Amino acid sequence: MEIKGASHFIQDIIEKDLESGKHDTVITRFPPEPNGYLHIGHAKSICLNFGLAEKYGGRCHLRFDDTNPRKEDPEYVHSIMHDVEWLGFHWGDHLYYASDYFGEFYRYSLQLIKQGQAYVCSLSPDEIRSYRGTLTEPGINSPYRKRSVQENLELFQEMKKGSFKEGEYVLRARIDMASPNINMRDPVIYRIIHAWHHRTRDAWCIYPTYDYAHCLSDSIEGITHSLCSLEFQDHRPLYDWFLEQLGVSCHPQQIEFARLNLNFTVMSKRKLTQLVQSGHVSGWDDPRMPTISGLRRRGYTPESIRRFCDLIGVAKSDNVVDMSMLEYCIREDLNKRAPRYMGVINPLKVVITNYPQESSEELPAINNPEDEAMGTRNVPFSRVIYIEAEDFREDPPKKYFRLAPGREVRLRYAYFITCQEVVKDQETGRILELRCTYDPATRGGDSPDGRKVKGTLHWVSAGHAVRSGVRIYDRLFSRPNPIQDEKKGLALNDTLNPASLQEQQGCMMEPAVKGLKPGDILQFERLGYFCVDPESTPASPVFNRTVSLKDTWAKIEKKMQG
């Protein structure tokens, strides 16, 4: 997938580097931590890194930053690989893990110690934080900063052997405790973690920090352009410092870009993990989650997500993207490819009294008006049908053009019908069924005498209907910026949208849906775009609504702001 649209500053840098001869190829990398599932923000990075490499004839590495065994799991590794491939990108032979380089990281650390640029510190984590200082006050040197090279070497080797408890010692870079950049105030390079690693097992009990492992991994792999989100901008001097002090032959260029912030959701793995563990969602692939697996289960396509990443562009400053832009991309994509079906979510029984009993017929229906090649199908029609309950009003308001007593409407692909009688439950007054008549001359939905009707309804033949479940999903949060609200004292749980999932059973779908399988996408006419859920079975089909046919949130947000 080649990046399209306007050029951006990273492309300008790459093209300049290629033209000047600084590089003769482009090598990027996507370096996820296997401590959770990827979300839509990672999709932006995936599209950028893999897309740029492809555009300029280079390659992109997939590298797992597996430097914290307590939070990592092979499940996350497999899910990340699946998500990258599902988006349409491939790493070929270039699959790597930071753990591949643990031996080299260790040897580089010994070099820093011997050069007097790293030392073993015995301060506790809390003491290290307190010694670090603030944005306006310099830090204080650790009392262990003056340990000799020999003592540091011996202690670090004992750390590697597992002779000490967690938190008893760390290895720190010796840089400048008075630096205005807090990241340069003798950062921790290695810490002791007695935990089972999913790849190296129990071979190591010391693990490098991200800042240390990241730049060295980039260098070892020959990365030319190391693309990071803006939060790592202040870490760039440290990235460069490690590589300069170690005198490596390959010194990649770190370039920062704005991360994706999407309203009405959260883009933090930690927050998403909380939602999963607290049971507010059914799992990482809950269709309300901004995870790639959640979006896939909801019915989003790789093409729609790549299109979204293309539209939002690449910038140098953070901004918040409206959820409606993502929804626009999936509507645009599915409108062209999704086959149309008829289904009724809230069924209301309609008996066509002048239609022959025990009879039925097949009526032709268009599969997709946007693509003639998708052809037509036949839908059964009979004396008893279902329509949406909201498509009938006994006392209709002004400009209500659907069915009402004495009013004639069109049934999609079928006939004109007129409501003659409303049958109600005598005790509750609830409408049980409508009794209508049809005009046989209007088969196909047109009147030979030229009379016009304003309302067209979708419907399903009762005798042929497939009983199904439908899940209507909405935004996970009721407020646009839940993280900002949390900073102001409003708990994250209090901003969750209580109507983010509405499950409806007893829905009636036309029989053609029997041929659908989990993952298939479709449009139920007038209702929205849907996807067959993985839990769906032929005996009990379940449809997830991907998105409505129109953006209704623009009006809702306007009311909220007013």
Residue with token string 């041929």 = 515
Q: Which of left, alpha, beta for 313 (phi over 0: left; psi -120 to 50: alpha)?
A: left
- CB count, 10 Å around CB of 299? 27
| Buried residues in 531-561 as b, exposed as e (16+ CB within 10 A) | bbbeebeeeebbbbbbbeeebebeeebeeee
Q: Which two tokens stand for residue 114?
A: 């011997």
**What letter would DSSP give residue 396?**
P
Distance CA 555, CA 552 (A): 6
What burial class does residue 319 get, using C-beta atoms within 10 Å of its C-beta: 0-12 exposed, 13-18 middle, 19+ buried?
exposed
**What letter would DSSP give residue 463?**
G
Tell me which amino acid residue 90 is.
H
Contact at 8 Å (CB) between 520 and 492? no
Tell me which amino acid residue 101 is.
Y
The active-site residue out of 259, 271, 337, 349 is 259
- CB count, 10 Å around CB of 445? 15
The active-site residue out of 269, 306, 383, 471 is 269
Contact at 8 Å (CB) between 159 and 138? no
Annotated catalytic, 269?
yes
Annotated catalytic, 421?
no
Annotated catalytic, 271?
no
The active-site residue out of 33, 151, 433, 557 is 33
Residue with token string 């910038």 = 315
- DSSP class per residue in 411-422: ETTS-EEEEEEE
C-alpha distance from residue 165 to each of 18, 157, 206 (Å): 49, 14, 11
Q: Which two tokens stand for residue 30?
A: 């996507």
Contact at 8 Å (CB) between 481 and 261? no
Catalytic residue IDs: 33, 259, 269
